[in-house]
Amino acid sequence: MNLLANLIPVSAEIFLLVMVCFILIADLMLTQSSKLFTYLLVQLTLLGCSVITVGTHEHGVTYAFNNMYVDDLMSDVLKMLSYLGMSMVLVYSRQYLMLRGLFTGEFMVLALFALLGMNVMISANHFLTLYLGLELLSLSLYAMVALQRDSALATEAAMKYFVLGALASGLLLYGMSMLYGATGSLELGVISDAINQGVQNKSLLAFGLVFIVSGLAFKLGVVPFHMWVPDVYHGAPTAMTLLIGSVPKLAAFAFTVRILVEGLQGLEHDWSSMLIILAIASMALGNLAAIAQTNLKRMFAYSTITHMGFMLLGLISGGIEGYGSAMFYTVVYMMMSLGAFGMIMLLSRAGLEADTLNDFKGLNQRSPWLAFIMMLLMLSMAGIPPTVGFYAKFSVLNAIVQTGHTWLAIVAVLFSLIGAFYYLRIIKLMYFDAPESHEPIVYGSDTGLLISLNGLGVLFLGLMPGTLMSICAVSVQQSLLLY
């Protein structure tokens, strides 16, 4: 394979890297007041990336750089969504960060580096590439959490995130090395073949699998590897929480699917029973702990744990239905969490973080439209039709019931009943309680428009979920070469 053919599948990432370096240097020349230029440049970069990703799309699966890198429909779809998500993150955070003096070139460059890391993870077909992408993402995020240097809470969160993240990376690496020992390769396809042909050292394989699953669980933030999630979500400035809580979930999904499905399909029986335990524990603990929270960011942290647990149910089910539903769930979750954290930032002012339950009291009297949008988002998170959250839950439940684990579906719905309580509580606060402050809510027209589109999108996709569902199913089908 010649160099050019290798470069085409990675052209979007190369463009992104070049632009990051350019922005990094260009930003040095700009004064603080003209940061808007950097911001526009970043948005243009995202647009450019999406054009390139669409332009270089090829039917079928293309490998590059000696099978280290893969370009398939799933990766293209996820990348497009991650550009969209990142662009929304930046729109939501602009005003919030400006008021706090964090709207700097570093923030935007780190965000783009994180995006690059995610794209590498999404397209990786080799343990080394996977690890490279993961670390690029994680290191950018650690730095971003710590960006607010004068906040003790943020620093503590960054420290915790870094230490636990490093531990998880260590677990993953250890697991990878064991798999390398058992199968003699780091390439996912070769590992898969080796496992299917039978491996001599079964216990080495089993140990490797346990370490890998633990590492993945850490990165996904599912119980019992969830401890970092509430603290980081709570401690980080809301803009960083938004970033951590939304787009990387797409990459985490791709990462998990690439390793478990493409690499370790032969061990499905083993890992799916581990995932069952992780999923049930996450749904139980996440939902119960979320009830007790008074800080909204912490509450959403526990809600993330729950949602990731629910998403795992899709992976457990397997097949196009299962993986497709898990992907759909992840995409929908990203949309909902973008909206929810976006709303927190929209209500925040200089010197006020609107991140406690009390800040949402009486929102309907202060701004009926924002309250309505937030209600749509909360109903969607609770999985109540006609919002898209219902179809996310529906497709996962359908996949589980098809595999015959009906009891698991019943457990899942019972826990979502508990979950419904704390989402409803927010609706209750907004609609039934009297506001604590009557200060007008000031927000830019760009954020206002985006949050409206976000909320109405959740409703619209709830009325017409078919297309997105099919996109997810088809991309999983074409990419994972199932059946």
Residues that bind other proteins (CB under 8 A): 368, 375, 379, 384-386, 390-391, 394-395, 397-398, 401-402, 406, 409-410, 413-414, 416-417, 420-421, 424, 427-428, 431-432, 465-466, 469-470, 473
Q: Which is nearer to other proteins, 346 or 409 (CB)?
A: 409
Q: Give which of 114, 124, 120, 122 is closest to 133, Cα–Cα.
A: 120
Collapsing DSSP states into helix, strand and coil, what is residue 404? Answer: coil
- Provide the token pair at 403: 């595999």
Cβ 413 to other proteins, closest distance in Å?
Answer: 4
What φ, ψ does residue 185 adopt, rounded to 5°? Answer: -150, 160
Cβ 482 to other proteins, closest distance in Å?
Answer: 16
Cβ 299 to other proteins, closest distance in Å?
Answer: 17
Give the number of other Cβ atoms within 10 Å of residue 5's Cβ. 10
Q: Which is nearer to other proteins, 265 or 365 (CB)?
A: 365
Q: Which is nearer to other proteins, 38 or 364 (CB)?
A: 364
Cβ 447 to other proteins, closest distance in Å?
Answer: 22
Q: Give the integer Cα–Cα distance in Å for 159 and 172.
A: 20
Q: Give the integer Cα–Cα distance in Å for 431 and 378.
A: 13
125 secondary structure, DSSP code: -
Q: Which is nearer to other proteins, 67 or 398 (CB)?
A: 398
Cβ 225 to other proteins, closest distance in Å?
Answer: 28
Q: Give the integer Cα–Cα distance in Å for 377 and 458.
A: 7
Cβ 401 to other proteins, closest distance in Å?
Answer: 5
- Provide the token pair at 190: 């070769």
Q: Which is nearer to other proteins, 32 or 470 (CB)?
A: 470
Q: Which is nearer to other proteins, 431 or 460 (CB)?
A: 431
Cβ 285 to other proteins, closest distance in Å?
Answer: 20
Q: Which is nearer to other proteins, 122 or 375 (CB)?
A: 375
